[in-house]
Chains A and B, each alone.
Chain A
Amino acid sequence: MRRIPPIGAPRNTGPLVTGPLVTGTVVCAALALSLSACGGDDGGGSKGGAGTASLTGRGPITFVTGKDRSGYLQKQLDGWNADHPQEKVRVIELPDEPNDQRQQMIQNATTRSDAYTVLNLDVVWTAEFAANRWLTPLPKDKIDLAKMLPATVTTGQYRGNLYAVPSTSDAGMLYYRKDLLAKAGISAPPKTYAEMWADCDKVKKLPQGKGVDCFFTEVNKTESVTISAVEAIGSAGGSIVGPDGKPTLNTPQAKQGLEFLVNAKKDGRMPKEAVTLDTEGGRRYFQSGKLLFQRQWPYQYALADKDDGSSKVAGEFAVAQLPGPNGPGVANLGGHNLAISAFAKNKATALDFIRYLTGEQSQRANLLATSQAPTLASLYDDPEMTKRFPYLPVLKQAITNARPRPVAVKYGDVTAAIQGDVYDAVTGKKTVDQALTDLQGKLGPLTAQ
């Protein structure tokens, strides 16, 4: 990297007489030119051809992802780059915010730029990206999908074709305070909502149960409330969008599911501030010891178990399957998949790189370094892993039974509609029936096609 001479901006913001201003301008122009000369060579802004199914071409590629959290990704890339000096991978980091990541990828696709090669996609983006022909179809026979959890593989497909390979997964679990349940004489976590409320009533009678709220699942008006709705309606045996792609909110199951969320809020089972708590707010609430049962992602396990003083419940909680109305409920599926941009060059290299990142060695190392849920089934049964991550068996079952969010090309509109009506029902602005009728009406045109 060329060193930047310490000239230009700071000195020239002040002097306002014309002489220095002109000098400053010249310096700025020179600086811009000299630095762009060292920055613009392989930045990749030129147009690539539209994607075809053929995965040809070898050479340098880019990997587009939200920032790596563990510092481990670069090691994995270094390993790859050492073995493939002609096919090096450069990381393009996107903002932490998923919306910003999606926006950058879409911008890149609409300008048909070849700057992005391998994309790290959220599971709910697959349909939109595939239907717009922004992704290259992948050959199923060249990737070892059989070793992966089937639910995760489904998220990488659109209309029966494979567009993305699952690299990490995620699913909701029920966190519960085992210390409080034990004090109340309860030996096992609840399997149904009725059991959950009964357990909560018992705990609330204990002196330690004062000020403890029963249950929390996210109902703030974000993607989270869509997830809560998918889980609640799925646990009641219903769905938001049926297998035929049509909305199914006019069913008794959908009503039962939504009523669970609405009543949990209305009956005070959830904290007063539930509508303002996001995922992190929920974690803080649980870690402050004010919550008995909580629907949460696996990431909370390690954080809530820290004994550095940040969590009051370290060592006092465990996880189980989410409860349902008549037996165990179902979780919603999260996670990320790797895909190849339709406008990229060197797609053969890209496919090899995806196989490398989703292979057993990489996934094992990634789990150890980041505790992100893997997609390979075998890792969940590995004694070394389960010892380190005691929640893995519960998580495996949750992922296996998990429901995806509605698969829709216009997912952004679908989830906004769900968020609006479910939130209105939970906050009492609409009755459950009204919310479901409205939502059924809105989703009809959005999913028809």
Chain B
Amino acid sequence: MTGSLPRRVLSYLGLAVVAGYCLAPFYWMAVSAFRRPQDQFDNSIVPARWSWENFHAVFSGDNGFGRALLNSLVVAGCTTVLTLLIGTFTAYALARLDFRFKNAVLGLIVATTMFPGISQLVPLLKLFTDIEWINTYQAMVLPSLGFALPLSVWLLTAFFRQLPYELEQAAMVDGCTRGQAFRKIIIPLAAPGVFTTAILTFIAAWNEFLIALSMVNKKEMQTATVAISKFTGVSGFDQPFGTQMAAGVIVTVPLIAVVLVFQRRIVAGLTAGGVK
């Protein structure tokens, strides 16, 4: 896209509008986090006095927030890896293989996302209590996997289908097996889609709260969202708004930073490896 000067100006203006729309409330969150607790309820656009106090409070002694971040990373990371692995297999079958009941399978998979999450909680809790999975990672990973799979399968299926079948056929003629053709041709070409699916899965698992809260009663195993829900003010009534906002910044910014770094390398790298 070469583009004339006015067109480039226009597109940058567009980018600025998009960034502003997405970041303005986030800016408010960050600014609130940087206010001193006693200025918490100011409406000034820039804090009158900057302070790290809220951030210190997030990591203060008995919150165990560092460990909670690590737990979130493990749970969300495992969920993402497993979802992509299992989801890619399933999506490949749905996009490329001929078999009966394909519609039924697609329908069944999407139907599992039509129940309110709270209705799954008590039966799962009973089950995991019986098999002694309370306070384990798998008690959080497995439900998250179940919540993430339908979207991932449908998305990957749509993305795979978007690519012409002829590409694989050509590779298979050249002597690739079905699996090789898929891995070497389709995955690199579908990289933007697969990567986006990974991001969405990771975020969904990272932000999961209800299951993580119910399946774990040990502080060392709790995830970041659960830890945040336990932040308190100085009494039972005052809400630690500044601390919660600071925690929100802390759980969001690394995620964005990782995406920023990874998207160039991975998407660029994988796309380069594919068919140009």
Interface residues of A (CB under 8 A from B): 1, 4, 8-10, 12-18, 21-22, 24-25, 28, 31-32, 35-36, 39-40, 43-47, 62, 66-71, 74, 92-97, 100, 104, 107, 110-111, 113, 115-116, 279-280, 283-284, 297, 299-300, 302-303, 306, 308-310, 370-372
- How far does the alpha carbon of A253 sit from the alpha carbon of B254 in the complex, in Å? 59
Establish whether residues A100 and B238, one from each chain, have CB atoms under 8 Å apart when the complex forms: no
Chain B residues, Cβ within 8 Å of A74: 62
Establish whether residues B198 and A13, one from each chain, have CB atoms under 8 Å apart when the complex forms: yes
Chain B residues, Cβ within 8 Å of A8: 73-74, 77-78
Establish whether residues A95 and B234, one from each chain, have CB atoms under 8 Å apart when the complex forms: no
Known A-B contacts A12-B77, A16-B191, A32-B137; A371 and B230 likewise in contact (beta carbons under 8 Å): no
The total of chain B residues at the interface (CB under 8 A) is 65
B199 (CB) vs chain A CBs: closest residue: A13
Chain A residues, Cβ within 8 Å of B231: 67, 96
Closest Cβ of chain B to A252, distance in Å, is 33
Which one of A9, A22, A94 contacts B85 once the chains associate, using CB atoms below 8 Å? A22
Establish whether residues A96 and B229, one from each chain, have CB atoms under 8 Å apart when the complex forms: yes
- How far does the alpha carbon of A362 sit from the alpha carbon of B198 in the complex, in Å? 51
Chain A residues, Cβ within 8 Å of B202: 13
Which one of A1, A21, A302 contacts B81 once the chains associate, using CB atoms below 8 Å? A21
> Can you add 13 more A-B contacts, CB < 8 Å, to A71-B61, A299-B235?
A8-B74, A12-B77, A32-B78, A32-B141, A36-B135, A39-B221, A45-B134, A66-B236, A67-B231, A69-B232, A111-B122, A115-B134, A299-B236
Stretch in B18-26, B109-117, B123-131, B165-173 with 4+ CB within 8 Å of A: B123-131
Chain A residues, Cβ within 8 Å of B214: 104, 107
- How far does the alpha carbon of A46 sit from the alpha carbon of B240 in the complex, in Å? 35
- Let me know if B262 is at the binding interface, CB within 8 A: yes
Closest Cβ of chain B to A22, distance in Å, is 7
Classify the interface of chain B: helix, strand, loop or mixed.
Answer: helix
Within 8 A of A (CB), among B95-117: none
Within 8 A of A (CB), among B204-240: 213-214, 217-221, 226, 229-240
Establish whether residues B230 and A43, one from each chain, have CB atoms under 8 Å apart when the complex forms: no
Establish whether residues B81 and A24, one from each chain, have CB atoms under 8 Å apart when the complex forms: yes
Closest Cβ of chain A to B88, distance in Å, is 8
Chain A residues, Cβ within 8 Å of B137: 31-32, 35-36
| Best-surrounded residue of A1, A8, A39, A70 (most CB of chain B within 10 A) | A39
A15 (CB) vs chain B CBs: closest residue: B266
B40 (CB) vs chain A CBs: closest residue: A310
- How far does the alpha carbon of A71 sit from the alpha carbon of B140 in the complex, in Å? 29
Closest Cβ of chain A to B215, distance in Å, is 9
